[in-house]
Amino acid sequence: MLAFRIEANAFLRGMVRRIVGTLLQVGQQHLSVAEWQDILLSRDISRAAAPAPAQGLCLWRVRYEQEGAPEE
């Protein structure tokens, strides 16, 4: 079983599945950590691996900041 905790202030459609798919490639040694970093910093979705299947992925929590309230 693998668990990924991914936090951001916004997500694009399919973004988390692409991140997980690419990280799985790193874990299976098809990509190096340096290659992962290059892909991430390039902001070029065409360089990412295929999206991970939706089966087994779940949204754990969504937090919204209250206007004027400090972040956690």
Kind and range of the H or E element at 26? helix 15-27
Task: State how far the Cα of 45 lies from the Cα of 19, in Å rounded to an integer.
Answer: 10
Task: State how far the Cα of 66 lies from the Cα of 72, in Å rounded to an integer.
Answer: 11
Residue-wise pLDDT tens digits, 17-44: 999 999 999 999 999 999 999 999 998 9
Whether pLDDT at 13 is above 90: no
pTM of the predicted structure, to 2 decimals:
0.73
